[in-house]
Structure formats: structure tokens, C-alpha cells
A and B are shown apart, each in its own frame.
Chain A
Amino acid sequence: MAQVGASVPAAPKKVSSLSKRKVQMTLFVVLALGPSYCGYLLFTLYPNIMSAYYSLLEWNGITDPKFVWFDNYVYLFQDPYVWRALGHNLLLMATVPLLTIIPSIFLAYLINVKGYAESNFYKVIYFLPNVLAVIVIALMWSFIYDGSNGMLNAILNLLGIDNNDFYWLGSKRTALWALLPPLIWAGVGFYVVIFMNAMKSIPHSLYEAAILDGATHMTRLRKITIPLISPIVRISTLFLVLGVFKGFEIMLIMTNGGPAGSTEVIGLYMFNMAFGKSSHNYGYASAIGMFLFVVLVVAKLLIDRFSPKDHAEF
């Protein structure tokens, strides 16, 4: 693009100072942007491209890779463990966003509109799990679920329910469900803050008119608040769905997929294929990764389609 200044005839001295500035500018851009942009190309873009190539290999990371075309993908679609893991993902994707978003809207409304004296203090408390490390959250919930010494069984005992030191993460029947509370616990406060701030931008006059018409809180929430923050609710839901789809750290720490694969999710399956103790199947893990990539890109395109267009862009 031509600089505006270049087309204007200028005195020779000024031209030389202009080109001097241009040299300085180029040098600055290279030095300032160079390291992190090269880092981005090397550590982010390059591995993402390479994973497509790796997915066509049979490779354990040590011996010579063997090019096998689409064998990994053929195997992937026949691998029952992949489908089992995806099933668990689907269950979590259907429940976690719902059970996170609905309480968040409710709490945000209570904090914002009701304005109790203690509300702001609660807001701070609700957000607290979001600053905790995943290891802290996961270990804490493992302790809660422990059979003989866990908090959950102790609470049930107080309520008069004795379940013989039932180990919640050790049973195929309960382990996956036991992962829901930590996932929700860790996320609700974040969305309370998001929705609170969205609700703050709703003009008071709308509520006042509704109050004059005698609308109850329930009606106001349903007819004014939720419709007006619905774009944010929609993206939040989609982001949670994506997060649940690719997340696996909680499962890695709390159960590592067990017992008998009942908490295996697709990300964890891929991770264990590549880095697990018994298997170093880089090619197959990459194929699963590519499969995830395609699903996530489609989901992201959907998000862009549904997201509000008022974001600042530059």
C-alpha cells in the first residue's frame, strides 16, 4: 500500500529522514514481532499442520515411521473404545452446559436484580473455584468421593444413610456421574460473572415499565432478562460444549478413565494412546486428534454463525 506522504513532493532532506524512519520502523517490527511470531509459527501452527501428516503414519515415536495412508482412520471408525469415549463426551456435553448455565443465570439475576446486602460477597465466593488449579479441584473432589473417609459419605451418614463406604469413583455405575459436580462446581461462578455483567447493561426503564404493569420477578426474568442476554447465553453454552468436548484433565487426575473405561473421554483416550504407560501410538493418537479437530472446527463455525456481531474487531 502506498503511503500518503510518499506522493507529496518533499524537500530532499525530508525524504532522507522519512526513509530513515522507515528503516527504523522495519527494524523495530522485526525485533518486536519476530520472536513471538516465529514462536507462534513453530510451536502452534507447525504442530497443528504436522498432526495431519502424523495421522497417516504408523509410528511409536522412536523407530522409523511407516506411511499407512488412511489405515488409522479406518481403524478409528471401527474402534469401539473411541465410540464409548464419544458416548461419555456426549453425555457430559448434554448435561454440564445445561447444569452450569441455568444456575448461573438464576444466581446472576438474584445478585443483580434483588441486590441483597450480601450479594457482592457471594459473587466473590462463587467465582473462587475459577482461580483454583485443576489439580486442587480434582484432588479435592477425589477426597470428597472417597469411600471410608470421604466427605460425601460422611454427609450421607449424618442424614442417616449408611451406604457401606461406597466408593463413588470406583463403581462403573457412578463414576461418570461423579465427574459432573466438579465440572459444574468449577464453572458456575465464571458464568455468574459473565451473565451479571450482561444483565447490568439492560436499561432499568424496561424493568420499571414491567413493574408498573405488575409483572412478577419470574415474568421479568423470562420476558426481559433472558431474551436480552440470550446472545451471551448462546455463546456461553456453545463454548461450554466445546470445552467439555476437548477437556480431559479432571478425568486424567481423578480416574484416568477407569474403572473399566467408564469415565474415558475422547481427549483422554487420545492422550493415553500417545503418552500412556503402555502405548506410544503417535500415528493413531494424531488421527484421533484430527477427528477432534474437524468436529471442533465445525462447532466453531457454528459459534461464529450464532455469535452477536457487536464485538470490537481490529
Chain B
Amino acid sequence: MDTNKRTFIDIVWRFIMLLCALSVIFPLLWIVLESLKTNKEFFANVWALPEKPMFENYKKAWESYHLGSTLLNTLYYVGTSLVLGTFLTALSAYTLTRLQFRGRNFIWGSIMLSLFLPGINALVPQYVLMRDLNLTNSLTGLIILDSFGESVFFLMLLGGFMQSLPKEMEESAYIDGASLFQVFMRIILPLSTPGIVTVAIFKFLGLYNAFLGPFIYLSDSSKYTIGVAMYHANQIMQYKADWVTLFAGVTIAMIPTVVIYVIFQRQIAEGATLGGLKG
């Protein structure tokens, strides 16, 4: 508001805001900075700048933590769950919000029931179920677990979006003889793109950042996703004291979500408000 006069106290406020921003950025920059040192430099002085940037640390992290195959695993898990899960969410949202059929209210109600389920108490039976279905220690098993099954937050987000679309286009398509599936693919999906993009971004962040699921279900190190791989790398580090390599690994793990955030910053801030308090 331009009605405010700038006074001395403004300097204090601005300083506080700057300090908060620094407290976010500084530790992250510290990690990146240390990842470019040698271990000797790191142990000598935590603050000194690297004499020359050691990009070899990244190569070493890449090789010793098997980040190549780990990231391929992550890509397979996140990518497949993302595409499959978003498509299924869109289908469900469309069916539940724009079609009238018997049992709709019952199905919607039973899905809303999950708002009351904290999930944490289902951990053990879910594990037993996955084991009985031979889906443990399998990335595909994780994909099935994460893609099938409604997520109320995304259903509400996308359902709300689809409800606001005009009815006329669908109706004229039916008169022209289009099937429901054609209407969904050719009219609803394109018109819902902004909502679908928001859902997809949040699914990406959720899946990439997921730790507990992959940690419980994946036991072979060849199947680890990036989060689990870095967890075990840190466990091993306690005996090796190879800090700079671990810093490089953490930096690599950080990059994908930061890039997505930089690109989709506005959608993420808006989506957080839309869904954040309904969770």
C-alpha cells in the first residue's frame, strides 16, 4: 500500500524479512558450497571457499551411491505413477462430478471417509497385503499402490475445476454422436488442463519426496529410489567420513524439485492454498 510512509521501523522489518530469507537459503547454499570442496578443506575450515570447485565429488557421488540407476528407478516410479495416477484421477473426478448414475453418492461418501483415516494405523496391514500380493520389493508394486486408489485432495481439486466447465460443449458433442470416452478425451481433458497441471505438479512433488513408502517396501539396493539411497548413504558415511561426497549427493537429490519449483512457482503457491487446508 502506498499510503505507508517509509520510516526507520521499516528498516527493521525489512531486516527481519531478509534474515528469514537468509535462514532458508544459507544452509542450502552451505551444502552446495561444501559439496565443491575436498574433505581436507572441509575439515580444516567450514567457512572457507573451495580453492577450486571439485566437480569430481559429483562424479564420485554419482558412482558410489549408484545414482544413475537410482535416478532411473525414481524416474520409473515417479513418472509412471504420475501419468497413470493423474489420468485415473481425472477419469474419477469427471465421473463423480459430471455424470449422474446410481450409487454416485455412496461412492463419493465412501471416498470422503478417508478424510477420517489418518493412514498411519494402516501401515502394517497394508504391508501384509502388499506382501501377500507379491508386490513388496518391487517398484511396480509401489506404482500400483500409489496410482490406484483415490486421493480425496486431488479429486476435490480437479472435481471442483471440472464442475465449473460449461455443459453446452458436452451436450453438442453428444448430439453429434460422440461417446462418453470421446467427450472426456477431446473436451474435458483439454479444458481441464490448468487443473490437471496443478494436480500433476503436486503429485510429482509428493512422489519424488516420498520416503516412508519406498523405505518400507524396497529392500534390494538395486531398487532404491533417491530418498532411500541417500538415507543409506548417510548411514554408511558414519564409518567413512566422506562428507563432501554426501553433500554432493544431497545436492543432486535437491535439484529436480527445485527446478520444478522455479518453473511452476505460481501454480504451486496457488495450489497450496486451494488444497492445503482440506487435506
Contacts and interface: CB of A to CB of B under 8 A. Distances in A.
Interface of A: 1, 24-26, 28-29, 32-33, 35-48, 50-51, 54, 61, 103, 107, 110-111, 113-116, 118-119, 121-136, 139-144, 148-151, 154, 158, 185, 188-190, 193-194, 197, 204, 207-208, 211, 232, 235-236, 239, 242, 246, 249, 252-253, 267, 270-271, 274-275, 282, 285-286, 289-290, 292-293, 296-297, 300, 311-312, 314
Interface of B: 1-4, 10, 13-14, 16-18, 20-21, 23-25, 27-28, 30-31, 42-43, 46-47, 88-89, 91-92, 94-97, 99, 101-102, 107, 110-111, 113-129, 144-145, 147-150, 159-160, 163, 179-181, 184, 205, 208-209, 211-212, 216, 226-227, 230-231, 234, 243, 246-247, 250, 253-254, 257-258, 260-261, 265, 268-269, 272-273, 276-279
Contacts of A44: 114, 117, 119, 122, 149-150
> Mostly helix, strand, loop or mixed at chain A's interface?
helix
B4 A38 contact: no
7 contacts: A32-B92, A32-B184, A118-B18, A126-B21, A143-B247, A286-B121, A292-B121
B128 A61 contact: yes
A136 B24 CA distance: 13
Contacts of A39: 144, 147-150
A122 B18 CA distance: 8
Given A207-B1, A292-B121, A314-B163, A29 B101 contact: yes
A300 B152 CA distance: 15
B124 A282 contact: yes
A314 B116 contact: no
Contact of B20 (A54, A126, A131, A139): A126
Contacts of A211: 3
Contacts of B95: 28-29, 32-33
A144 B149 contact: no
Given A44-B122, A126-B24, A154-B47, A312 B160 contact: yes
A258 to B, nearest CB: 13
A121 B1 CA distance: 17
Contacts of B268: 127, 131
B125 A50 contact: yes
Contacts of A293: 117-118, 120-121
